[in-house]
């Protein structure tokens, strides 16, 4: 039997499980026993009303899980059809558990149609992985990763995949993820108003408004962070140029889509101010100047840039304009995006900080 391949599919599978659990049980409030069996939906009548959006979301929501689980099984040498069966059964079991737990949430309605659609979506995703593997298309990805990326790129690839999604939630500055100071104030107020007051006074004493120059710097750093993360794992200068340009394209698409979801297509480019445009140019030029740097220097620069951006963002007060933006987002027609994207927006840079700090230490040990 061949040895197991290095794969991020297991990690992405668990990420899909977490997203599904969050989406299925959100908002996690008013749990109660409603004096019904959790699995009552299996024998309940078929729902009389369903929108095409509900059907499509239930069908497609489990498709990535089935895909990644089947791929992870094949990469772990379980065989094609055993991997497909494992993915299909896992999707079926997870959906059954989620529907059963929804019986304890008054705002959620468990349904056997949702269970069947979720299971079908997982089976379809696993079948796609099976077909792509048989045709050799996934082998091409393995070849690409082997020739382009370093062996330790797994976690970084997951972070890079989550970055455009994190950009969908409104931010104080374009690409300015990780602004958690106000959220900390709210949490402290719920726990201890007196402690929150002390924290707020200390924060107000050192906070500074973002000047146009600092805003441009934040945008440049916002592009530089995922750019350096991608560039550091590429092997050749030409590959690093391609990675930098891809990160620039994702930044533009992510900000434009966020503006479209918040304000509508007619305001899709409102974020592209002179400061943000110059910031993108500065960030791209900085990446180009670092193309020949070693992986250790790139990761260390990434760590320092991340610390600088988090400090600038969290020490700047939130503007009234941003408060109005948040009201538009939370009350608009795209409220379905409001459950998960804030957490990605707030926590993505901090997850990157932990991973980068650990990776810098690992690189230092290799050099020693």
* 263 and 358 co-located in one domain: yes
Predicted confidence (pLDDT) per residue in 15-35, tens digit: 889 888 877 887 777 788 777
* 188 and 240 co-located in one domain: yes
Q: What is the pTM of this model?
A: 0.70
pLDDT at 127 over 80: yes
Containing structural domain, residue 114: 9-148
Q: Rounded to whole angstroms, what are the CA distances from 361 to 131, 138, 151, 217, 357?
A: 40, 32, 16, 27, 6
Cis? peptide before 27, omega within 30° of 0: yes
pLDDT (0 to 100) of residue 318 = 63
| Cα-Cα end-to-end distance for the chain | 36
Count of structural domains, the chain: 2
Min mean pLDDT across 1-5, 80-84, 144-148, 227-231 is at: 1-5
Is residue 195 a part of any domain in this protein?
yes
Last residue of a domain, one of 127, 148, 169: 148
* 18 and 35 co-located in one domain: yes
* 290 and 252 co-located in one domain: yes
* 85 and 226 co-located in one domain: no
* 60 and 205 co-located in one domain: no
Is residue 327 a part of any domain in this protein?
yes
Is residue 2 a part of any domain in this protein?
no
CA 119/CA 161 separation, integer angstroms:
25
pLDDT at 334 over 50: no
Q: Mean pLDDT throughout 65-81?
A: 87
CA 125/CA 75 separation, integer angstroms:
16
Nearest partner of 234 among 309, 316, 172, 298, judged by Cα: 298
Residue at token pair 């059907």: 55
The phi, psi pair for 234, rounded to 5°, reads -85, 150
Last residue of a domain, one of 115, 148, 181: 148
Is residue 20 a part of any domain in this protein?
yes
Nearest partner of 104 among 184, 210, 185, 32, judged by Cα: 32
Of the pLDDT bands very low, low, confident and very high (cuts 50, 70, 90), residue 1 is very low
pLDDT at 282 over 60: yes
Is residue 1 a part of any domain in this protein?
no
């Amino acid at each position: 039997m061949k040895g197991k391949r290095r794969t991020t599919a297991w990690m992405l599978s668990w990420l899909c499980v977490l997203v599904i659990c969050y989406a299925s049980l959100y908002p996690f409030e008013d749990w109660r026993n409603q004096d019904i069996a959790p699995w009552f939906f299996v024998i309940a009548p078929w729902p009389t009303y369903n929108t095409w959006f509900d059907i499509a979301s239930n069908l497609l929501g489990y498709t990535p899980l089935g895909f990644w689980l089947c791929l992870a099984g094949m990469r772990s040498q379980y065989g094609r059809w055993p991997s497909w069966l494992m993915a299909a059964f896992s999707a079926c079991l997870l959906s059954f558990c989620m529907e059963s737990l929804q019986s304890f949430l008054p705002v959620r309605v468990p349904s056997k149609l949702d269970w069947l659609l979720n299971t079908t979506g997982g089976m379809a995703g696993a079948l796609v992985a099976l077909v792509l593997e048989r045709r050799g298309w996934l082998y091409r990805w393995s070849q690409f990763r082997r020739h382009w990326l370093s062996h330790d790129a797994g976690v970084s690839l997951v972070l890079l995949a989550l970055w455009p999604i994190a950009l969908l939630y409104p931010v104080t500055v374009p690409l300015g993820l990780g602004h958690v100071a106000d959220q900390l104030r709210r949490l402290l107020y719920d726990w201890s108003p007196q402690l929150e007051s002390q924290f707020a006074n200390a924060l107000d004493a050192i906070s500074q408004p973002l000047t146009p120059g600092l805003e441009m710097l934040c945008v440049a750093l916002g592009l530089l962070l995922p750019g350096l993360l991608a560039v550091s794992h590429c092997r050749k200068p030409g590959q690093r140029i391609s990675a930098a340009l891809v990160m620039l394209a994702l930044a533009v698409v992510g900000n434009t889509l966020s503006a479209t979801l918040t304000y509508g297509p007619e305001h899709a480019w409102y974020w592209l101010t002179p400061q943000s445009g110059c910031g993108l140019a500065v960030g791209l030029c900085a990446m180009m100047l670092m193309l020949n740097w070693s992986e250790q220097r790139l990761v260390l620069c990434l760590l320092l840039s991340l610390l600088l951006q988090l400090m600038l963002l969290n020490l700047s007060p939130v503007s009234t304009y941003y408060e109005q933006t948040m009201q538009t987002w939370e009350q608009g027609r795209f409220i379905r995006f409001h459950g998960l994207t804030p957490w990605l927006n707030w926590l993505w840079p901090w997850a990157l900080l932990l991973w980068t700090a650990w990776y810098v230490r690992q690189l230092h040990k290799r050099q020693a």
